Amino acid sequence: MQTLHSKALYLLKQMLGDQAEFRKGQWEAIKNLVEDHRRVLLVQKTGWGKSIVYFIATRMLRDQGAGPTLLISPLLSLMRDQIKMADKIGVQALTINSTNQDNWPEIERILLKNQCDVILISPERLNNYHFRNNVLTKISGRIGLFVIDEAHCISDWGHDFRPDYRRIVRILNQLPPVVPVLGTTATANDRVIDDIQDQLGKNLVVLRGPLAREGLRLQNIKLNSHAARYAWIAENLPKFGEDKRGIIYCQTVHDTERLADWLTIKGFNAKPYHGGMDSDLRERLENDFKNNVVDILVATVALGMGFDKPDIYFVIHFQCPGSVVHYYQQVGRAGRKLEKSYGILLGGGDDEEIQDYFIKSAFPSKSVMENILNCLEKSEGLSFYQILSHVNVSNSVLEKALKLLEIDQAIGVDYKGRRIFFRTAKKWQPNEERIEKITQLRRAEVDEMKAYLEHDGCLMAFLQRTLNDPKPFDCGVCANCQNRGFSSEVDGNLHKEAKEYVRSERIELTPRKQFPTGLSVPQKGRKVQKEYQNMPGRALCYYGDGLWGKLVREGKYQNGYFSHDLVEASAHLIKNLWRPDPYPKWVVPIPSNRHPTLVSEFARALAQTLRLQFHDILSRTSNPPEQKNMENSLHQSKNVLSSLNIKGKIAPYPILLVDDIVDSGWTLTIAGYLLQKNGSGVVFPFTLAKATGRKN
């Protein structure tokens, strides 16, 4: 008679080949699930083979007559390879997600007939009315195995906590106690494990492996300016070898695009990758990178959990991540099946400022939550965009706030046609103590990352200790252990070239072509009429970045005027690099009651340098709130439209419309609309700086 172990080993060889053997801990996890029907938390480094455990356990449980496995993962788009592997042992895995809606009825039919072995869903799917009521309620009594992929997302203390994961615990509490449960993660320290144990039950079996990555050569290099980092990367990438491929992680979308462009100019096969791209493009980039069509992905954390390319030779961090946990997870993409690979951290400069932004924006404020509840209490239900018209927050903050309020049961959602949110009878009070504790933890994690950057001992051992690996040891291969590594010195000519790239970067201002829903403008429809649309514009620099960006910040908030150097640099850009066509005859400043001379004096000096006419024909009819405090398109555009006016006669000449800093673009859009509607020629927006978003 075949034992459970021998059957499991047979399935493993079917999946991976005749030479395959279980790694330490894999069989133990399978046994706890299949034989003992326990709840298991599997903490193993990336690439260890956690998916092997739940697919083999699924096959064995199904052969015993159990129902299908419900697998909840935020990484459905990155699980294609694992699903192919499961198919080798006869495990049919299907997924219900936002990209395959046409297939939902057939998938649901197969699932309800018990003809599917694994159903994969995202945690957000648990909040879908149709799925909860027409699928989940009908299969919850016969789920054979419940799998929570990336289980650290359950924990408030986890580096990637997601509100949708809170619903998982509610479902777990409704399952029969005999249903085995598996949580998997590569990044859980003691604090996170204890929190998961509190939520999944004290009888949780924790199986934890070592975290050291053999052969991964770590090094930290301090370079304060972006230009120095650009030059260092361009100078040192060739040292890895022409056939070596890797990832460069950045903290912002803007940095991925700019660095990828620089590397392309320098002859490297590099592409940006971030969450702002549509899913088809991201999938194409992933496949091109896996198939060596693309050599380097310059990515945000959107290329994170679940991405598996075993021969990544280097992972470079352009900035310090927010925590050691983040860093370990990302650098762990390197060298899973290579004897030698590199993990290089470039730190310093504005890294801490970026992390401070992410920490401050992590939780919607108490006032935002109360404003949402107040406007819902005064209605019988509002849609997402109706709430947005009442509450001054961004789309992403509102989405997060609604999710948290729904999980707290302070609001409900009706899914008839579209989401309609309504206030429930439950009293809501923010858990300010919890928010403060998590905020302080995030700041402590930033401090740990700074300590790692400065650490002069073994870098791998530092990561192991911080992540509570019970057996940390010196790796012997990092730059500190070997007392050698890549030089932090940068070639002078290359550094100069990088500085010029940063200074002369082409920063286009794309015209907005549609007014937001709810804005009352004297025209039919939301589309900005073509004859009133701005032409593509330009910005001199990114705010606070490089020489010009710092001069803009100093001019606005310290000196009270913009320097002659900024005037000369702007004139050079407009006259010699941009050359708008038809060339402007008038220079018109955006007015401000708070800083009445700041932009107008700069625009007057710019007009003189360019030998154009200066006309101060726009005025403010009121003192609206600062535009930077408006958080969504409707409030931003309303704020401008209600206060901007034409105060003089306009000639039909092309106009250079000048402002200091552009963020949403609504000030320039509304001003250009008014100018052209009142008889001007085409409008070319120009700003000294463009604000950089921190999205990833």
Q: Which amino acid is at 690?
A: K
- Does some domain include residue 53? yes
**What range defines the domain where residue 203 resides?**
4-208
pLDDT tens-digit readout, 89-136: 999 988 887 677 788 888 888 888 889 999 988 887 887 777 877 788
How are beta strands 507-509 and 537-542 bridged, if at all?
A: antiparallel
Query: Are 519 and 620 part of one and the same domain?
Result: yes
- Does some domain include residue 444? no
Query: Are 291 and 222 part of one and the same domain?
Result: yes
Query: Are 619 and 562 part of one and the same domain?
Result: yes
Query: Are 405 and 519 part of one and the same domain?
Result: no
For the chain, the first-to-last Cα distance in angstroms comes to 54
- Does some domain include residue 471? yes
Query: Are 557 and 590 part of one and the same domain?
Result: yes
DSSP run (H or E) holding 633? helix 633-641
The CATH number linked to 526 is 3.40.50.2020
Task: Quote the pLDDT of residue 158.
Answer: 55
Tokens of 154: 């359950």
Q: Which amino acid is at 339?
A: E
DSSP run (H or E) holding 72? strand 69-72
pLDDT tens-digit readout, 596-611: 899 999 999 999 999 9
With a pLDDT cut of 90, the percent of the chain lying above it is 46
Tokens of 377: 């209490």
Q: How many domains does the chain have?
A: 4
Task: Quote the pLDDT of residue 607.
Answer: 96
Q: Which stretches does DSSP call E strand in 164-301? A: 181-185, 205-208, 216-222, 246-249, 270-273, 296-299
Query: Are 245 and 192 part of one and the same domain?
Result: no
Q: Which amino acid is at 611?
A: R
Task: Quote the pLDDT of residue 483.
Answer: 95
**Where is the domain boundary, 433, 462, 492?**
433
- Does some domain include residue 575? yes
- Does some domain include residue 484? yes
CA angle 227, 233, 235 (to 5 degrees): 100
CA angle 380, 384, 389 (to 5 degrees): 90
Query: Are 190 and 244 part of one and the same domain?
Result: no
Query: Are 681 and 635 part of one and the same domain?
Result: yes
pLDDT tens-digit readout, 123-171: 878 877 778 777 888 887 889 999 998 888 877 665 556 667 777 887 8
Reduced to 3 states (helix: H, G, I; strand: E, B; else coil), residue 93 is strand
Mark the ranges of the chain whose per-residue pLDDT is less than 50: 1, 696
Query: Are 113 and 133 part of one and the same domain?
Result: yes
- Does some domain include residue 11? yes
Cis omega (within 30 of 0) on the bond before 582? yes
Task: Quote the pLDDT of residue 1.
Answer: 47
Task: Quote the pLDDT of residue 53.
Answer: 95
Q: Which stretches does DSSP call E strand in 353-445? A: 411-414, 420-423
Backbone torsion region of residue 241, taken as left when φ is above 0, otherwise alpha when ψ lies between -120 and 50, otherwise beta = left
Nearest to 354 by CA among 433, 249, 265, 283: 249
The CATH number linked to 424 is 1.10.10.10
Q: Which residues contact 276 (CB under 8 A, 6 or more apart)?
A: 253, 695
- Does some domain include residue 235? yes
Contact 157, 192 (CB under 8 A): yes
Contact 69, 119 (CB under 8 A): yes
Task: Quote the pLDDT of residue 188.
Answer: 80
Contact 653, 586 (CB under 8 A): yes
Dist. CA 519–CA 534, nearest whole Å:
18
**Where is the domain boundary, 208, 226, 255?**
208
Query: Are 480 and 573 part of one and the same domain?
Result: no
**Where is the domain boundary, 190, 208, 226?**
208
Query: Are 542 and 495 part of one and the same domain?
Result: no
DSSP conformation class of 591: P
The CATH number linked to 339 is 3.40.50.300
Q: Which stretches does DSSP call E strand in 255-337? A: 270-273, 296-299, 314-317
Task: Quote the pLDDT of residue 301.
Answer: 85
User: What separation in angstroms does the CA of 502 have from each of 498, 540, 549, 552, 555?
Assistant: 6, 10, 10, 15, 19
Query: Are 142 and 163 part of one and the same domain?
Result: yes
Contact 411, 423 (CB under 8 A): yes
- Does some domain include residue 361? no
